[in-house]
Homo-oligomer: A and B are copies of this chain.
Amino acid sequence: MRTLYHHWLYPGARLARLVLGEKGLEADLRVVTPWIRDDSFLALNPAGEVPVLVEEDGATLAGTLAVAEYLDEAYPDPPLLGADPVARAEVRRLVAWFDGRFGQEVTDPLAGQKLALRLLGNGTPDSRSLRAGRANIHMHLQYIAWLTEATRWLAGNRLTLADLIAGAHLSLVDYAGDVPWDEHPAAKEWYMLLKCRPCFRSLLADSEPGLRPVPHYADLDF
């Protein structure tokens, strides 16, 4: 059995779980706490970050994109990048948008402040960060609405890594109760489709003791 080293707070590790789910691949999930130094884990990934995937033959893959693209290459059914180089470039552009820009502008200031700080016992959330994240999220939800205006998914009519990484980030922000779904019905509709997929079940079961998600977090009809 392959092993995925992960932590629910890390969007890249959430993406790895979603990709495994979409491909119907099983994995032994092991939780690591990347903020606590662990030499045996550093031997697997010198960056000390999740996700890390170890295949049954010992092959070790580390990092958000390295793991996701590896899984898509090694287990091509269903394909989660595009059909040709130009389509794949568009998926990768969107992946960079959501994992980079959305991460910095929304996930870090909201989930980072409300969840990570509390989990690490590292102080109270900074109100300026929260205000910034809550202002920034509107533009991103509008962008999701714009991208899905004529298509079912962010990069066309097939689900791709772009949807999954956006869902990995948004589900964390939603866990903290900071997504203004009611003001963004088109983005909500896209997220409902995503949330209903079997691959999402594992994420919706996340519930850290002492830091529970908002009540609608796991509701498919929210």
Interface set of A (CB-CB < 8 Å, partner B): 45-47, 59, 61-67, 69-70, 73-74, 85-86, 88-90, 92-93, 96-97, 101, 143
- For A143, list chain B residues within 8 Å (CB): 46
29 A-B residue pairings within 8 Å (CB atoms): A46-B97, A46-B143, A47-B93, A47-B96, A47-B97, A61-B89, A61-B90, A61-B93, A62-B89, A62-B93, A63-B89, A63-B92, A63-B96, A63-B97, A64-B96, A66-B89, A66-B90, A66-B92, A66-B93, A66-B96, A67-B89, A69-B88, A69-B89, A69-B92, A70-B85, A70-B86, A70-B89, A70-B92, A73-B88
Copies in the complex: 2
Chain B residues with CB below 8 A from A45, complex form: 93
Expressed in whole angstroms, the Cα–Cα distance for A47 and B61 within the complex equals: 29
Chain B proximity of A132: nearest CB distance (Å): 18
Q: How far is the CA of A86 from the CA of B47 in the complex (A)?
A: 18
Q: Contacts A47-B97, A61-B86, A62-B93 given; 6 further ones with Cβ under 8 A? A: A47-B96, A47-B101, A61-B93, A63-B93, A66-B96, A74-B85
- Contact of A85 (CB < 8 Å), options: B65, B73, B88: B73
Q: Which of A85, A86, A93 has the most CB of B within 10 A?
A: A93
Chain B residue, CB-CB nearest to A69? B92
How far apart sit A156 and B65, CA to CA, in the bound complex (Å)? 20
Min CB gap A126→B, angstroms: 20
Smallest CB separation, A112 vs chain B (Å): 15
CB-nearest residue of chain B relative to A74?
A: B85
Q: Residues of B contacting A46 with CB < 8 Å?
A: 97, 143
User: What residue of chain B has the Cβ atom nearest to residue A96's Cβ?
Assistant: B63
The 8 Å CB contact of A59, one of B61, B65, B86, is: B86
Assembly CA distance A46 to B143 (angstroms) = 10
A92→B65 contact, CB < 8 A: yes
CB of A96 within 8 A of CB of B61, answer: no
A107 to chain B, nearest CB (A): 16
Specify which chain B residues have a CB less than 8 angstroms from the CB of A47 in the assembled complex.
93, 96-97, 101
